[in-house]
Amino acid sequence: MFWGVTVGALSLLASCRSAKEAAGVKAPQEELSGEWVDKMATVGLKEGTVTSKMDFELQVDGKALSVGGSCNLKRGEVIQLSLVALGFMEVGRLEFTPQYMMMVNRMQREYVKVDYADVPYLQQAGVDFYTLQALFWNDLFVPGREGEWEERDFTVVENRESTIMTTRGDALLQCQFVVDLLTGLIRNTSVAVAGQGSVPHLNWTYQHFANVEQKSFPDKMQLSITGAGKNLTAVISLGNLKWNAKTVELTKEPGGKYKRVSPDLILKQLIK
């Protein structure tokens, strides 16, 4: 299950598809208004370091797992998740930087450390550190653009409660963001790509926001993946959030009895 939530989410980011229609909406607009861009940029926390305790709940095809841990985020530098069982024993660690991603399985003493460019299904889809950072920080993103985007990258439709923004162009991935009209915060991010047969679909839903330094920061998020032969739902709940309280140190590559394995091997284990 530990490898499943990680490799499953990353691989499905590169092989999923979503619906493109929303009922009862106005005609698409050609550009975002400057007012909307400014509001989205100012309501959320977008800088510094956020550290917190974490509760992680995972369900895969009826099987459930619940662990504690911590979540450490440094804007532009690292996403670090530590999974802890029984309140004291680290069973796994996930670390993502702009250069590489690393997954350490303490239980089986194996790990993956690899550059995004060396994983074909991630490179093809444009999935990198900045894609994952946007999900955790409640940001807009365009796959493959390293966190950069412009107003013209999106088409926009509006209904009574939200603005629905969809990435333009012929990229492999299409992303759709549901933005709350009142707060300017993203309520749901959907990532998808046209496929054959089953229809994998990734949804990242923001269930609650905390006040951190007078800004809104997501402290409860639900990740769901459906349509890929496996149904996966994970809920990440953050507590005791602190801003710029400590330095986040990168994890050293494991040595000794740890075995380095390839992402392809982990993906094959997941499929089985």
CA distance 220 to 42: 20
Please report the pLDDT score of residue 6 as a whole number.
Answer: 52
The 8-class DSSP code of residue 153 comes to: G
Q: Which of 230, 234, 240, 211 is nearest to 221 (CA)?
A: 234
pTM of the model: 0.85
CA distance 249 to 74: 10
Q: Is 81 helix (H, G, I), strand (E, B) or coil?
A: strand
Domains held by the chain: number: 1
Q: Which H or E run includes 192?
A: strand 186-192
Q: Pairing state of beta strands 174-180 and 154-158?
A: unpaired
In tens digits, what is the pLDDT along the chain, a chain of 272 residues? 444 445 445 554 544 433 333 333 444 444 455 566 677 778 999 999 999 999 999 888 788 888 999 999 999 999 999 999 887 789 889 999 999 999 998 988 999 999 988 888 788 888 899 999 999 999 999 988 888 888 888 988 888 888 899 998 777 788 999 999 889 999 999 988 744 334 567 899 999 999 999 999 999 999 998 766 667 899 999 999 999 999 999 999 998 899 999 876 655 554 44
CATH code (residue 33)? 2.50.20.10
Domain that holds residue 161: 2-271
